[in-house]
Amino acid sequence: MLLTQPSRPVEGATAAHPAVAPSRRAPKRFTARRLLAFGWILPAVVVLAVFVYLPLVQNLGFSTLEWDIYSGSQEFIGAENYQRLVADPIFWSSLGNNVLYAVVSLVFQVFGAIVLAAIIESIRHDRWRRGLRAVYFVPSAISLTVAGLLFYFIYEPNLGLLNHALDAVGLGALAQPWLGQESTAMMAIIVMSQWQGFGYSTLLFAVAIQRIPSELYEAAAIDGIGAVRRFFTITLPLVREMTGLMIIVTIAGAFQVFNEVMVMTTGGPNNSTQVLGTWLYRNGFVRNDFGYAAAIATVIFVITLAIALVQLWINRRRRVEW
């Protein structure tokens, strides 16, 4: 459907068709130019249409099928996959884990990162600022896979750092199989992802804070306004836009979690660390229940779309405000 759009200018040319030759040539050249202009965006549009938008639409269709990948049989079952979803306790606990992920990430990777960035940017030596930003960013440069494996070993009961460190400071009683029991596994994964991700958002907030004119801070300092008040009256309001963006990105990211769970627990023990992404994977590619996996994908789609629309709405309202 999208692919037929670029031919529109040609329709404009055929309207001029019955006219005499010279006037016919003029719109034709015009058309050729316009068609050429499409060339700039055509590769992006085609690639996105075929590999991003088409699968998205297909997914909706797939979610209404009972689809056995081995026999190849497909049967239309309407909303039955969604009814199964509502009755599936692991779907709900997965969703809950995604929400928990979002909340913790908002606290550390958005609000914690703003505070940290403000502290770093208040240091007077440029070398220290740059050094700290860079060191904190390193976990974000190494992949979630490497970070996940690293923390798998840190949490490991026999050779892990965490239990040995607790032992060393006399808290050996607190040592436990962090990833091996339902009560701590999800939190252990979330802690790892905060460790991995806080440097990235801190860097982005630091960049936003650098754009605030330094005169504002100087004037406030002359007026004897303390650092904490400067943070609330200058920094926080002036990085508002970046904060809004990061809140959206963080929440949307929390509903797409996959990598770290897959590497550290694959959803166990006893499905306690399943998130929507891994539950989709397990149903689609381990149990070969494609229709059910597609239904889970639709839920992820609806949630991420809703978050994006909220962002658009906020952006538009802000523009009106100004």
Partner 1 sequence: MVTRLSFAGVIARVFMWTFLLCLVVVVVYPLTWMVLNGFKTNAELFGNPFALPMQWGWENYSDAWNRGVSNYLTTSILVTVTSTIATVFISAWAAYGLTRVEIPFSRTWATIILGGLMLAPTVALVPLVKMFQGMGLYNTFWALLILYTAFRIPFTTFLIRAYMIDLPREVDEAAEVDGASRWTAFWRIILPMCRPIIISVVILHILFAWNEYLFAMVFTSGTDMQTLPVGLTSLMSKHGTDYPVVFAGMVIAALPVVILFFVCQRYFVKGLADGIGK
Q: Which of residues 216-275 bind partner 1 (CB under 8 A)?
A: 218, 221-222, 227, 242, 245, 252, 255-256, 258-259, 262-263
User: Which range in 79-87, 93-101, 176-184, 304-312 contacts partner 1 by CB under 8 A?
Assistant: 304-312
**100 belongs to the binding site for partner 1 (CB under 8 A):** no
| Eight-state DSSP code of residue 159 | T
User: Which range in 21-29, 50-58, 79-87, 169-177 contacts partner 1 by CB under 8 A?
Assistant: 50-58
User: Which range in 91-99, 103-111, 175-183, 299-307 contacts partner 1 by CB under 8 A?
Assistant: 299-307
* 134: Cα separation from own chain's centroid: 22
CB of 11 or CB of 321, closer to partner 1: 11
Prior bond of 43 cis (ω within 30°): no
User: Which range in 97-105, 171-179, 230-238, 295-303 contacts partner 1 by CB under 8 A?
Assistant: 295-303
Q: Binding residue for partner 1 (CB under 8 A) from 149, 166, 225, 314?
A: 149
How far apart CA 194 and CA 104 sit, in angstroms, is 8
Residue 61 Cβ vs partner 1, minimum distance, rounded to whole Å: 9
Compute how many residues bind partner 1; rule: CB under 8 A. Answer: 95
* 235: CB partners within 8 A, 6+ apart: 114, 118, 209, 212
| Eight-state DSSP code of residue 2 | G
Helices 240-254, 290-321: axis angle to 10 degrees equals 170
CB of 173 or CB of 222, closer to partner 1: 222
How far apart CA 297 and CA 315 sit, in angstroms, is 27
**143 belongs to the binding site for partner 1 (CB under 8 A):** yes
How far apart CA 61 and CA 294 sit, in angstroms, is 9
**124 belongs to the binding site for partner 1 (CB under 8 A):** yes
DSSP string computed for 52-110: IIHHHHHHHHHTTEEEBTTT--EEE-TTHHHHHHHT-HHHHHHHHHHHHHHHHHIIIII
**130 belongs to the binding site for partner 1 (CB under 8 A):** yes
CB of 91 or CB of 281, closer to partner 1: 281
The number of beta carbons lying within 10 Å of the beta carbon of residue 292 is: 26
User: Which range in 51-59, 85-93, 94-102, 103-111 contacts partner 1 by CB under 8 A?
Assistant: 51-59
Phi then psi for residue 289, to 5 deg, are -100, 75
**7 belongs to the binding site for partner 1 (CB under 8 A):** no
CB of 18 or CB of 43, closer to partner 1: 43
Q: Binding residue for partner 1 (CB under 8 A) from 14, 210, 270, 315?
A: 210
